[in-house]
Each structure stands twice: as structure tokens, then as C-alpha cells.
Structure 1
Amino acid sequence: MSQLPRRGPTPGVPPRAHRLHRRSRSTAPASVARREIVLHGQRVTYLETGRRSGGPTVVLLHGLASSSATWLPVLPLLGRHAHVVAPDLLGHGESAKPRTGDYSLGAYAAGLRDLLLALRLDRATVVGHSFGGGVAMQFAYQFPELTERLVLDASGGLGPDVSIALRAASLPGAAAVLKAVHTLTPRRIAGLARRAVRLVPGVPTADLDELACALASFADDGARDAFIHTVRSALNWSGQRLDGTGRLYLLAELPLLLVAGTDDTVIPLAHTLAAHDRLPSSRLEVFERTGHFPHSEHPARFAEVLLDFVHGTSPVHSDADTFRRRLVAARARAATAVVPV
């Protein structure tokens, strides 16, 4: 798709290959550790790498019914040049799954803020995949002073369309169906579903692996309930209820990288292209013949693109006054556009 618009090289910044070569003093993968912390009485687990790399802080946010494990293919590559933290969001992975948990987009963003502050991390480049992209955008809106850059990887929240499977999960009775399926075949359902989906031509292996992990996670009552609560906060049968495109202008001064696959069957590529059109200063990377998990399907390329973006852009230091100016400017533009009758 060479016709797709892409951001040109930044004046005064060395080409990508030279910058990556200059940084690559070691080719050995960085070690990855699993850690945990207690916040508000709830356990939060996260993967960490590159703490002593001397590089900038990067936070990786997974999507629905996923976990920090989705980032394992890229974490050792990123950790050579950045301090990377990949949390299990509340209700996911090995983090707590409270029945009374707040699984709204705003609560996830606030939880990420609390984690960063507890880890004494002042600012970060925030990377969000799928639903995690919606959380990342919400975090940038709510806490601009903590956000240096934003990366949206096959991101949700950029348009209404979404796969029929996710829309179905928002319907009444979805939790009972998932529970019944696992009651009947608790150990074999993920494998059976994976083999069934293999019969559909063109479905990437990475998508199949992630599907199997998601289905396996539903055997846990807490994970299943958290998934349903989260889905219903963001989706209905018509599609995504939460649309971040109306506030994209607030990110105009923030370095933004958009990543998507041409063969994504969960969230259309068109959503990412439309976001790039709205923010032409953003950088766009389209992975050919790639599904919904570019970071899993092409970890080396994803790590290279992400590191090039992080080291090739200057972090933005925003605050409430910065957001206020943008809001006032947008309100003024809207007022002048109104034509008296």
C-alpha cells in the first residue's frame, strides 16, 4: 500500500537505520521480569524490562480478554533501549478481578496513573493495542502531564465498526454462554475453537494464538465477568459506543504513531487511516498481510518502528493550561463556523 500517506523524515534527525545502529551496542535480548504491586487493596501485576537501559519509559497496554503476555515477543527487543512496563489491566491476566471493580475506560486510565506514580515514573510513552488504545487515548486526555508520546496499535475508539463476535459479547446472556461453554469443555474449548478458526482462510496465526488465550482465560469466573463488564461499557450490538475521534484535536501537539494491519478483521484499517487524515502530523505504519496483532505477528518490525519513533521524536510536556488553550481555540473555531439564520 505504497499510496498510503506517511510522515516524512524529521529535519535534522538521522535516518532510521543509522539511529538504530547507533543505539544497538548489544544484540542480546533484554531479560523480562514479572512483578506485582498492591494498589487500593488490589493486586496489579506487570512485566518489566530495560530498567537499567537508560532509555525512556514506555508503557504497553493490552486489549480485551488479553494480558501483558501479548507483548512478550517484543519486550526483550524493546528492553535494550527503553524501560518498558506492561501491566495486566484490572480483571485481566494475573491482576485482581474484583466483582465490584470499575471497568470503565476512565477507571483504567486512572489505574494506570496510579501505577506510574507508585513506580515513581514521572512520564511515559503510552502504547495501546485494541481496547488498550482506547485506554491510552483516555489516559492522554485525562493526564497530559504524564504523557510524552502516544502509540495506537490496531486501536479501538476510532470508529463504530467492530467484529460481530465482540458485539455479540455485549448482548444479554453472553456471560452465561461463556460459562456454559467452559463447563462443558473446560480444557478443550480453546483448542477446538482454534482448530475451527483455522478453517477460515487468511486468519493469521498470531490472531489464532490470541483467540485461544482469550477463550482459555474465560474459564476464570472473575476474568469472564470483568470481560463482560468491560465490553458493555464500551460496546453494544451496533458497535463501539465510545468514539475518541471528536477529541483527537487535543492530541495534535503530541507525537503520535498509528499502527495497523491490512487484514485486521476485528477493527477496520479504515479507522486508523481516518485518524491519520485528522492528524496529518502523526506517523502511520501499515503492516501488509497482517491481522489484529501487528506486535505479535511481526515483533522485530514493530519493535524497530516503535524504538525509532520514541528516539526520533521529542517528548511533549503538557499540562492543564496547554489543554485549556486547545479547548478554547476549538470552541472559538466552532463559534465562528456557526452561520446565523
Structure 2
Amino acid sequence: MKFLLRLILLLAVLLGALFFFFRTPDTDRAEMIAKYTNENSQFVADGVGGEIHFRDEGNKAGPAILLIHGSSSLLQTWEPLVDLLGDRYRIISLDLQGHGLTGPRADNDYSANAFISSALKVLDETGVEKAYWIGNSMGGWVSWRAGLAVPDRVTGVVLIDASGAQTGEEIKPYLGARLAQSTIGKWLLPKITPKFLVRSSLEENFAQPERLTDELVTRYWELLRFPGNRTATLERGKTPREPEKWDDIGSLKMPVLLLWGKQDKVIPLSHGQAFEAAIPGANLIVYEDAGHLPMEETPEPVARDIGNWIGELEAVRDQQTEGDVAN
């Protein structure tokens, strides 16, 4: 009996030592804000006691684009597109609550409606009435849900490897998501988030993992550990995704473009095909050499296709306006 008690005590001590050895504390809020804001960064009140970090960049005279990142991501995921499209378009991006420099939402509401409300607060702050909503993964889910909920604020929708399609297909989550869904992960992840775990999860999102830079991995790792974000990630996982809304997606009235990485292991191409089949007039473009994050992995063709699509739509709108004036 004494031996068993000693063994249990020894194991407890070893586990405690391992916990403190591997423990990764939150990053410093002020340090992260100083490091990851730029001259275009702004903050706006979220209405529940926090502030939303956003950037308003590009050509302020051009059509407005609103960029919405995916789960456990951040607005910096769009920087390549900002560089490639900023000369023609006004580009607004934000850190959703529980992400980046925005941090957690005080009421733990991470529903589509809450995210849409945050995006609208950013648009209102910038004075933009209507924008093209472009979203990746969870951000795509938010974007098409916005098309249903607030169509008067949505000029068009671009879904990049978006979530929300109800195909009945089993999807294997990436490593970080699998851990977040497990009992032990829910206990450990708010305190222990090793950098190699972030790298491994990102590698599953890339078709060519060698494209990952240490700078990119560090950015994800540090901002995941922004105060409150790790706990918010677990809270977000409890939020109902309202799959029944999929039944309404065919009623979207605005133009829809679908962009998909053929090698996406997180949300496979079959989901893009389901979106194309369900949305009248939607056009699907597939990138052979991209995974779940084509706007980061292969930004040039993504920017080209978005730019061409919006350019064609704007040209048609201009012609219609000229025709209305002539009449």
C-alpha cells in the first residue's frame, strides 16, 4: 500500500514538473499590439466591453472589400492579397473576437450573428455601407451567413475553402482542432500550446508545408496566446453552427465566387462543389497547388481571380448606372 501511494505521489510530481516545463503562458498584450499593428490598424468598441482590431487599407476610392479570416487565424492571413489588390480596392480586414489582437468576447457569443455584428461595426466605423465579403473557412461561413442575414450590406460574396456545407461527409479535423475537441485537450490547451503543435496544424493546412516560414508560424503561435484567445477557442467550439441554415443558401441574391484549394484536407473540394450546386450562378475555381489557405499559399492566382471577378461586376454595374442616367 505504501509503495502504491509513493508511486502515485511520484507520478503526480512528475506530471506537475512536466506541466510547468511545457507550460506556455499568454503573451503580453501591450507587446503584441506594438508588434502586430501597423499604420492602418484601428480599434472599435464591440458593444460588449471589448474592442475589435481592424485595418482599413488600399485605394479608398475603389470598391470596398471586407476580408474575414478563419478559425484560429488572424487578419494578417490576408496581407498578400492586400499587397496585390490594394491599388484597385479599398480593403478592410478584422480580427474576429477570440482571434488576433481583438481577444475574447466578454459574453462568449461566437455565433455567426455575433461575428456578423462585429463586421458591421467595422464597416460602420469606416463609413462603408456595402462591401464584397470575402471569407476563408469559418470566415466563409460568416460571409455567406451575412449574405442571408444582411443582404443590403453585401455587394457580393467570395467563399475561399468555406465551411458550412452539409454534405454528410466525415471530415478529419487538423491536429490542433482534434486536441481542442478532446477532454484532455480542453484542459491542457489553455495552458500548454507548444510551437511545434501550431506548426503541425499549419502544415496540415498547406499543400506544400515547406512554404511555411518560421515568421508565419511564430505569428500564429504568439497571437493564439494573446490573452484570452485560447480559452475563447474552446468556447467557440461549443457554439452551435446552425446547420439548418444550409437549406437557405440557394436564396442568396448577390453574386457568389467560390475559390478552393484542390489539396484541402480540412474542408475538401467536395464541399466547394456542394456550394456550387446549391447556389444559382455560383462559379467554382480550383487551385491545383493549394490547400486550405490558398490566399496565403498561392496568393497571386487568388488575387487575380478576385480582381477579375470584381472588375467584371463593377463594369456591369457602371454600364447599368450609365443606362439609368441616359433614360
- Please, what TM-score do these two structures have when normalized by structure 2? 0.74
Deviates more, 1:203-212 or 1:217-226: 203-212
> Contact conserved, 1:58 with 1:126, CA < 8 A, in 2?
yes
Q: For residues 199 and 64 of structure 1, what CA distance do their matches in structure 2 show?
A: 14
Aligned to 1:224: 230
Q: For residues 35 and 196 of structure 1, what CA distance do their matches in structure 2 show?
A: 29
Aligned to 1:59: 66
- Secondary structure class of the residue paired with 1:271: helix
Does structure 1 residue 162 correspond to structure 2 residue 162?
Answer: no
- Secondary structure class of the residue paired with 1:303: helix
Question: Structure 2 vs 1, CA of residues 151 and 167 (structure 1 numbering), >3 Å: closer, same or farther?
Answer: same
Q: For residues 145 and 206 of structure 2, what CA distance do their matches in structure 1 show?
A: 35
Deviates more, 1:254-263 or 1:276-285: 276-285
* Larger-gyration structure (1/2): 2
- 1:286 maps to a residue whose letter is V
Query: What number of residue pairs does the alignment pair up?
Result: 273
- 1:162 maps to a residue whose letter is I
Does structure 1 residue 46 correspond to structure 2 residue 51?
Answer: no
Q: How does 1:116-195 map to 2 (within 5 A)?
A: 116-159=123-166, 161-165=170-174, 166-182=177-193, 189-191=194-196, 194=199
Q: For residues 238 and 160 of structure 2, what CA distance do their matches in structure 1 show?
A: 22
- 2:249 maps to a residue whose letter is L
Q: For residues 281 and 92 of structure 2, what CA distance do their matches in structure 1 show?
A: 27
Query: Comparing both structures, which one devotes a greater share of its residues to helix?
Result: 2
> Contact conserved, 2:54 with 2:92, CA < 8 A, in 1?
yes
Aligned to 1:295: 295
- Secondary structure class of the residue paired with 1:233: coil
Q: Identify which of 82, 89, 92 aligns with 1:85.
A: 92
- 1:152 maps to a residue whose letter is L
> Contact conserved, 2:100 with 2:224, CA < 8 A, in 1?
no
- Secondary structure class of the residue paired with 2:44: strand
Aligned to 1:248: 249
Does structure 1 residue 74 correspond to structure 2 residue 81?
Answer: yes
Aligned to 1:19: none
> What RMSD over aligned residues (CA atoms) do the two structures have, in Å?
2.9
Aligned to 2:321: none
Structure 1 gaps, min length 5: 1-30, 183-188, 236-240, 317-341
- Secondary structure class of the residue paired with 1:47: strand
- 2:209 maps to a residue whose letter is P
> Contact conserved, 2:206 with 2:293, CA < 8 A, in 1?
no
Question: Structure 2 vs 1, CA of residues 259 and 116 (structure 1 numbering), >3 Å: closer, same or farther?
Answer: same
Deviates more, 1:103-112 or 1:54-63: 103-112
Q: How does 1:261-272 map to 2 (within 5 A)?
A: 261-272=261-272
Aligned to 2:20: none
Per-residue CA shift, 1:185-209, capped at 9, x if unaligned? xxxx214653798699955345787
- Secondary structure class of the residue paired with 1:72: helix
Aligned to 1:331: none
Question: Structure 2 vs 1, CA of residues 243 and 203 (structure 1 numbering), >3 Å: closer, same or farther?
Answer: farther
Q: For residues 202 and 261 of structure 1, what CA distance do their matches in structure 2 show?
A: 8
- Secondary structure class of the residue paired with 2:55: strand
Question: Structure 2 vs 1, CA of residues 131 and 243 (structure 1 numbering), >3 Å: closer, same or farther?
Answer: farther
> Contact conserved, 2:208 with 2:290, CA < 8 A, in 1?
no
- Secondary structure class of the residue paired with 1:84: strand
Q: For residues 58 and 202 of structure 2, what CA distance do their matches in structure 1 show?
A: 36
Question: Structure 2 vs 1, CA of residues 312 and 196 (structure 1 numbering), >3 Å: closer, same or farther?
Answer: closer
Deviates more, 1:270-279 or 1:172-181: 172-181
> Contact conserved, 1:48 with 1:86, CA < 8 A, in 2?
yes
Per-residue CA shift, 1:79-121, capped at 9, x if unaligned? 1101010001111111132443311111111221222123211
Question: Structure 2 vs 1, CA of residues 244 and 265 (structure 1 numbering), >3 Å: closer, same or farther?
Answer: farther
> Contact conserved, 2:179 with 2:186, CA < 8 A, in 1?
no
Structure 2 gaps, min length 5: 1-37, 318-327
- Please, what TM-score do these two structures have when normalized by structure 1? 0.71
- Secondary structure class of the residue paired with 2:80: coil
Q: For residues 179 and 309 of structure 1, what CA distance do their matches in structure 2 show?
A: 41
